[in-house]
Amino acid sequence: MKQPVCFIGVLRLAHCKSNNLRHYPNQNVHSDIEHTKFKFTSVALRGGAGASGLHENLSATCASLLAGSIGGAIGVGVSYPFDTISTKTQVTIGNDGTSSPTLAGKIIRIFKEEGVGGFFEGVLLTMLGQALIKAIQFATKEMTVMWLSRYSTISSKVLKLLIGGIISGLVSSFVVSPVELLKIRMQAQNKMATKNNDDNTIQTLIYKNEIDCAQWVIKNEGLLSLCTHGLWITIIREIPSFAIYFAVYGWLQHTSLATRLGYHIAPLIFGAIAGWAMWFPTYPIDVVKTIEQVQTRERNSDKDMLTWRQITAKLYRTGGVGAFFEGLEPKLARAAIKHAVTFWCYEVLMNIMRPESIY
């Protein structure tokens, strides 16, 4: 009798030993493969087909999608409190003078007002969202670089990564925008704050959880608003951000420093540097995007929400250039932690699934 087909399949990976990173320079490719020993046993894929090795069955795109999603979710989870601090700082720009000028002061203020939970409002949604977002970004970058390597005359690795970053930033923006809209509104709320009619105090709604927040937006602003409110400013931010992000990391990968740092340290350091590099030039855009997306409008209200152009003009009038850099310190701390962890997880998983270089 034929045995039933395994729907999901089982993989046991044993005796995995690698001495080299995938893309690092000054290392003989044949030597990499020779010194990377994999032993696969009991492999059964969808439909029951056998396989000689995981890296022969997973395409680079699928491997990048999986590695990116796992790395993105873990990275955003461990760095989330710093993102909350930055968001709370951004939404008070130009509204009151109570925001602490120091990172330590901001941490103390949130802890006193909201407790530990105040640092993690919206974290579950964001981790799930980042898993999808990073899967899209890394897979799109990988597909673009592979296509350019095969069908274009571009020889520069950095230029190919720049183009891959531009396309991945554009494509992922359509997921980033609604995920961050809900994240920002969850982070901006202050459950311990007393509502009043003072025009200088920012008013935020109180949501039970991420689902309650999404339901409120759909009910009062519409499903289209959930998907598109802040989309254009998100695209404006994401395109240069990920062009810089992937190009900087890719360039560092192919330097002699990568070899000296080794298997585990290089992705951590290069990921942190890439995170800083993407945020320095685009942070002012992020401030404007946060203020645009935190705006709410109840059903049948005639309240007009400011556009990103109007917000930009208002910020400059009230605070000058400095207003566009409020909350930068926690954002940079978050970027270093998040992207160091993201790239470390990504490289480890890609070395298991796709040990050969695609470049």
Identify the residue with better confidence: 104 or 28: 104
Question: Could you tell me the pLDDT band of residue 118, with boundaries at 50, 70 and 90?
Answer: confident
Give the span between the Cα atoms of 40 and 58, in whole angstroms.
14
Task: Show Cβ contacts of residue 153 under 8 Å, excluding neighbours closer than 6 positions.
Answer: none
The per-residue pLDDT for 200 is 42
The per-residue pLDDT for 13 is 36
Residue showing tokens 């759909």 = 218
Q: Is the pLDDT of residue 218 over 50?
A: yes
Give the span between the Cα atoms of 134 and 87, in whole angstroms.
21
Question: Could you tell me the pLDDT band of residue 115, with boundaries at 50, 70 and 90?
Answer: confident
Give the span between the Cα atoms of 227 and 218, in whole angstroms.
10
DSSP string spanning 141-208? HHHHHHHHHHH-----HHHHHHHHHHHHHHHHHHHHHHHHHHHHHHHH--TTPPP---TTSPP----S
The per-residue pLDDT for 18 is 40
Return the structure tokens found at 330.
Answer: 């926690």
SS3 of residue 304 by DSSP: coil
What is the separation, in whole angstroms, between the first and last Cα of the chain?
A: 47
Return the structure tokens found at 9.
Answer: 């399949």
Region 79-83: what's the mean pLDDT?
89
- Give yes or no for a contact between 128 and 134, defined as CB atoms under 8 angstroms apart: no
Instruction: Report which listed range, 18-32, 213-227, 291-305, is most confident.
Output: 213-227
Model-level pTM?
0.75
Question: Mind listing the pLDDT tens digit for each residue in 191-216?
Answer: 555 444 444 444 556 888 889 999 99
Cα dihedral 176/159/356/143 (nearest 10): 40
- Give yes or no for a contact between 278 and 242, defined as CB atoms under 8 angstroms apart: yes
- Beta-carbon neighbour count of residue 314 at 10 Å? 16
CA contacts within 13 A on the Cβ side of 123: 18
Q: Is the pLDDT of residue 326 over 80?
A: yes
Question: Mind listing the pLDDT tens digit for each residue in 243-270?
Answer: 999 999 999 999 999 999 988 899 999 9
Query: CA 303, 129, 119 angle in degrees (round to 5)?
Result: 75
Give the span between the Cα atoms of 56 and 11, in whole angstroms.
14
Question: Could you tell me the pLDDT band of residue 94, with boundaries at 50, 70 and 90?
Answer: low
Give the span between the Cα atoms of 182 and 193, in whole angstroms.
20
Look at phi and psi of residue 341 and say left if phi exceeds 0, alpha if psi is from -120 to 50, else beta.
alpha
| Residue 356 DSSP symbol | S
Q: Is the pLDDT of residue 335 over 80?
A: yes
The per-residue pLDDT for 355 is 63
Question: Could you tell me the pLDDT band of residue 134, with boundaries at 50, 70 and 90?
Answer: very high
Question: Mind listing the pLDDT tens digit for each residue in 135-188?
Answer: 999 999 999 999 999 999 999 999 999 999 999 999 999 999 999 999 999 988
Give the span between the Cα atoms of 51 and 39, in whole angstroms.
12
Return the structure tokens found at 64.
Answer: 């990048």
Strand partners, 12: 41
Question: Mind listing the pLDDT tens digit for each residue in 3-46?
Answer: 444 333 333 333 343 444 444 444 444 444 344 333 333 222 22
